[in-house]
Structure 1
């Protein structure tokens, strides 16, 4: 079962940054690892669903010519909009997923820390939308907490198993720590070294 939006409403009612994304070293380090794992220097159009406060979004904006980010919570959207107000190439939208997946295609889709909040049916619908929206050679990145979360049916590892089962995508890299997994997939398995003619 998908976690109710009222759960997030109550979290954001108590704090505009309920997971302390802005100040925790754990989160800052994870953002650095996420950005370092991206195999291309630049992306034409990226999408980050479930952007929360926009901390990761701000870093992704450094690598994308255009970036769309969204969240289903109005407070999160307002916070992210303020955080990204000086980034004219970034659009922040209020979208309820998977039903309101945006139109268009992307060469980078970042599914970070949202998969386990969806039930299996909704997660599969979201991942299929992501697969269809991913341009040939584009990158699909998943990053998720690996410990159990109260109220969530799926674990982060199970989310990544579903990502790995998407047809037509090859795993480019995988980082697994005790606390989180960070994995990238693409239809193009070419490594960075081979792309830069080191091999």
Structure 2
């Protein structure tokens, strides 16, 4: 897998054009809109790539941990997220190096699983989801977003990733959005927003 990412990052620090594509900007906006809480205490995003999604989500969090394993991605994420003292970028391989706790020693109340689940096989993905559940605060939010079309060299597509996540997380689905290109699901045991605000 490292050779695959080496070849991608040989083209530059943004091989998926996260910064320029309307597709990516729109998808980020949908993810932000689907989060049930206005503010989170501690967010974690494994597979953060160049930090573009982290930059958007960290604005909604008191602390945010972004992680990746590739040196080019880590350098780009550190540059993109510089000047935000509540954000930390760390080197970590998933699922083996899933963090045991948030920066304050507590659990995460937001976990972001975006566009990398299909780089794991089914067993590794399920193991990662179990670790996610173990470190998720009661009522915390897990948001997943993945490309639905086939990817060369990957066994799973986005639908397969989300089926495994849903089984392993065993949390209610608060929101789901599906298009031909990607799917987005939000899992949490907290009540829906209208219920939280006494509207329903």
Q: Answer yes or no: same fold by TM over 0.5.
A: yes
Shift of 1:10: 1.7
1 CA distance for matches of 2:187 and 2:194? 17
Return the match for 1:119 from 118, 121, 131: 121
Equivalent residues in 2 for 1:90-129 (5 A)?
A: 90-104=87-101, 105-129=107-131
2 CA distance for matches of 1:56 and 1:90? 12
The corresponding residue for 2:197 is: 196
Cα RMSD between the aligned structures? 0.9
For 1:35-90, what per-residue CA distance to the aligned partner results, in whole angstroms no more than 9, with x for missing partners? Answer: 00000000000000000010000001110000000001011000000000011100
Structure 2: runs of 5 or more not aligned: 102-106
Q: Is this contact kept in 1: 2:129–2:169, CA < 8 A?
A: no
Q: Is this contact kept in 2: 1:142–1:160, CA < 8 A?
A: yes
1 CA distance for matches of 2:19 and 2:169? 35
Q: Is this contact kept in 2: 1:5–1:72, CA < 8 A?
A: no
Normalised to the residue count of structure 2, the TM-score between the two structures is 0.95
Equivalent residues in 2 for 1:48-197 (5 A)?
A: 48-104=45-101, 105-166=107-168, 168-188=170-190, 190-197=191-198
After superposition, the Cα gap between the structure-2 partners of 1:70 and 1:167, relative to the gap in structure 1 and judged at 3 Å, is closer
2:10 aligns to what SS in structure 1?
A: helix
Report the count of equivalent residues: 195
Structure 1: runs of 5 or more not aligned: none
Q: Is this contact kept in 1: 2:142–2:188, CA < 8 A?
A: yes
Normalised to the residue count of structure 1, the TM-score between the two structures is 0.96
- Which stretch shows the higher mean deviation, 94-103 or 107-116? 94-103
1:92 aligns to what SS in structure 2?
A: strand
For 1:143-177, what per-residue CA distance to the aligned partner results, in whole angstroms no more than 9, with x for missing partners? Answer: 00000000000111011101111254101010001
2 CA distance for matches of 1:21 and 1:168? 31
1:139 aligns to what SS in structure 2?
A: strand
The corresponding residue for 2:36 is: 39
After superposition, the Cα gap between the structure-2 partners of 1:97 and 1:196, relative to the gap in structure 1 and judged at 3 Å, is same
1:7 matches 2:39: no
> Could you list the runs of 4 or more consecutive aligned residues of structure 1 that deviate by over 4 angstroms after TM superposition?
none
Q: Is this contact kept in 2: 1:49–1:110, CA < 8 A?
A: yes
1 CA distance for matches of 2:14 and 2:29? 19
2:16 aligns to what SS in structure 1?
A: coil
